[in-house]
Amino acid sequence: MLSIASDQPVEEAIAQVLSAFMGERAPVYIVGGAVRDHLLGISAIPGWTHAPGAEPSGGSYTLPKQTRIATTDLDLVLEGPVLPLARQVADRLGWAYYPLDKGRDVARLIGKAADGQRIECDAAAMRGDLKTDLLARDFTANALALALSANSSPKLIDICDGIGDIRARRLRRISSDSLRSDPIRLLRAARLAAQLGFGIEQGTRAQIGDCAETVLSVSAERVRHELWKLLDSARPDEAIRELDALGLLVHLLPEVAALQGVTQSSRHHLDAYEHSLLAARYAAELRDWLRGGPAPEDDALTVTLQPWAEPLRAHFSSEIAAGRDRAGWLVWHALLHDTGKADGPDPDARDGEERRGDAGHQTLSARLAGRRVESLRFSRREVLLAERVASMHNAPRRMVTELPQNVERIGARAAFRLFRDAGSVVAGHQFAAGLRSAGMHAPPDGLDVIVQALSDLQATGLAPAPAWARFLKAIEGLFSYAFTLRTERADPLVDGHRLMERLGLRPGPQVGAIMQELAEAQAAGTVSSADEALTLAEELMSKGVE
């Protein structure tokens, strides 16, 4: 992708793209979220300070004393045609250019600042005059415009008291047609309320409830975009409750809605729905810490994680698909991991007994999680990751339960099995088979399984402190293996060809079984040379390993 020169900070990059548009066609109007977030102090529009020209008609608005980082997401409106102008600006600045909607004359420019931040600028042709354009938007807080001209100060335009709603921290529809014209706005209302900490005005709330089912008419890609942002909010559990209160949850994530009232085993203090929401809350804590935010509230958990902070953050900052990192997926894993516990028929389940068994509900949860993620048009890797974590979410707890009382940490052999079984959606079968060293250096999905298990266990109940302490101590062995032994012992000591030659075997299941045993022994450190591995292989063959 083309990008801005690497020595340019965000503020300068934004100022430059605005200047480029203004130099060709003025006025240029910044609209929507960038204006709203500047007034809220969430982010800043470079060059806009509180000045007489920035006051709305009918009164003044005092900006917060401090604003945060410069905005990286701009929506511009200007007189058309826009597409040729946007291409010209992109070429001049070295930004990437995409014709987002040729019919509506909308373009997207994408650049990158010195610190690596992605900057998006959508430029659209004005729909009629400015007032008509603003009244066609969704909520009053988004119907603000900042007029920019080269020779005058920025001027804030507010035609439907959006500033009053921002002051009141209220999300209000512009009109009843605002929601009917585009049902994605029903979901967007819940998302913005979660992100901004706004309440939804009563008339707006009532209309969302009345037409909740129309959200099903929206394309999966648009729903995916809004849901990702909603669950990426600070309190995804509260966001899910809002979706449910608005009547949207049953249409968007029916598997989660179906968990309401589903009882669980005696070790749980909540039903499956409340447990999943609490797990999502803890997952959000971990997500934020992995992104460099504050430590989890549980001090014991922080002590366990801190020694591995750097490699954990490197792993979870990696993106499975553009704009979606592994850390963000932790909340989705928490919400979907127990969906197989819900009552009701499943077309693929043999009978009701499958739901009650531990392995059964994990298998069914994986199936349901995969279907939902796939239906939202996430990438194939993301579908596989959701399935894998759901199918193995109880593995770390089971490993600790099976650990002898006189053993504190999970050993390398058991750790190897977990990471082997989890594999890597990046390396595919190559990692899962464990037959090629390159696969062992791929991002291991076992880490996603382990960290998800932490939020799951936290949400299980008021577990005795010694049991929680034992779990945290035991999984240190998993982290140790992942970040030290796994890479140190990645290359197989012998390959399949040499093994078959030494043992006189033909290709078949027995070779695979012996190779698997050798890999586990290598992981545990009981063999460390090719000769030792071949000696063990001969012993295994004499015992009839198949």
240 is a domain residue: yes
Range of the domain at 332: 270-408+422-429+442-482
- Looking at the fold, whether 340 and 218 belong to one and the same domain comes out as no
**Can you tell me the mean pLDDT for 181-204?**
96
pTM of the model: 0.83
263 is a domain residue: no
- Looking at the fold, whether 190 and 83 belong to one and the same domain comes out as no
- Please report, for the domain that includes residue 224, its CATH number: 1.10.110.30
Contact by Cβ (8 Å): 333, 284: no
397 is a domain residue: yes
DSSP bridge pairs for 78? 125
- Looking at the fold, whether 305 and 220 belong to one and the same domain comes out as no
Model pLDDT for residues 427-464, shown as the tens digit of each residue: 764 444 443 443 445 788 999 999 999 999 999 875 56
132 is a domain residue: yes
Local confidence band at 10 (pLDDT 50, 70, 90 cut-offs): confident
pLDDT value at 274 more than 80: yes
Local confidence band at 142 (pLDDT 50, 70, 90 cut-offs): very high
Among 234-238, 320-324, 344-348, 449-453, the range scoring the smallest mean pLDDT is: 344-348
- Looking at the fold, whether 404 and 449 belong to one and the same domain comes out as yes
- Looking at the fold, whether 476 and 507 belong to one and the same domain comes out as no
- Looking at the fold, whether 288 and 347 belong to one and the same domain comes out as yes
**Can you tell me the mean pLDDT for 126-143?**
94
In order, the DSSP letters of 214-283 are GGGGS-HHHHHHHHHHHHTSS-HHHHHHHHHHTT-HHHH-HHHHTTTT----TT-SS-HHHHHHHHHHHH
**Can you tell me the mean pLDDT for 182-206?**
96
Local confidence band at 301 (pLDDT 50, 70, 90 cut-offs): very high
259 is a domain residue: no
pLDDT of residue 141: 96
Among 5-9, 208-212, 430-434, the range scoring the smallest mean pLDDT is: 430-434
Q: Provide the percentage of residues in the chain whose pLDDT is more than 70.
A: 82
Among 17-21, 22-26, 360-364, 510-514, the range scoring the smallest mean pLDDT is: 510-514
pLDDT value at 191 more than 50: yes
Distance between CA atoms of 455 and 131, rounded to whole angstroms? 48
- Looking at the fold, whether 108 and 139 belong to one and the same domain comes out as yes
Model pLDDT for residues 276-295, shown as the tens digit of each residue: 999 999 999 999 999 999 99
Best-predicted range by mean pLDDT (227-236, 320-329, 441-450): 227-236
Q: Where does 310-358 show beta strands of DSSP type E? A: 319-321, 324-325
- Looking at the fold, whether 278 and 338 belong to one and the same domain comes out as yes
pLDDT value at 54 more than 50: no
Residues 6+ apart with CB under 8 A from 265: none
At residue 421's C-alpha, the angle toward residues 318 and 464, to 5°, is: 85
- Looking at the fold, whether 149 and 191 belong to one and the same domain comes out as no
- Looking at the fold, whether 383 and 502 belong to one and the same domain comes out as no
pLDDT of residue 487: 55
**Can you tell me the mean pLDDT for 226-235?**
96
- Looking at the fold, whether 194 and 123 belong to one and the same domain comes out as no
Local confidence band at 523 (pLDDT 50, 70, 90 cut-offs): low
177 is a domain residue: no
pLDDT value at 348 more than 90: no
pLDDT of residue 401: 92
Total domains, the chain: 4
174 is a domain residue: no
Mean pLDDT of the chain: 85
Local confidence band at 61 (pLDDT 50, 70, 90 cut-offs): very low
- Looking at the fold, whether 366 and 477 belong to one and the same domain comes out as yes
Contact by Cβ (8 Å): 372, 366: no
Q: Where are the alpha helices (DSSP H) in 377-445?
A: 380-392, 395-401, 412-422, 429-433, 437-440
pLDDT of residue 188: 96
Q: What are phi and psi of 157, to 5 degrees?
A: -120, 125
pLDDT of residue 237: 97
Model pLDDT for residues 66-121, shown as the tens digit of each residue: 445 788 889 999 998 999 999 999 999 999 999 988 999 999 999 888 887 888 99
pLDDT of residue 462: 54
- Please report, for the domain that includes residue 76, its CATH number: 3.30.460.10
Provide the Cα torsion 340, 343, 346, 349; round to 10°.
Answer: 70
Among 144-158, 417-431, 513-527, the range scoring the smallest mean pLDDT is: 513-527
pLDDT value at 493 more than 80: no
In this structure, what token pair is assigned to residue 112?
């990158």
Local confidence band at 536 (pLDDT 50, 70, 90 cut-offs): confident
Local confidence band at 53 (pLDDT 50, 70, 90 cut-offs): very low
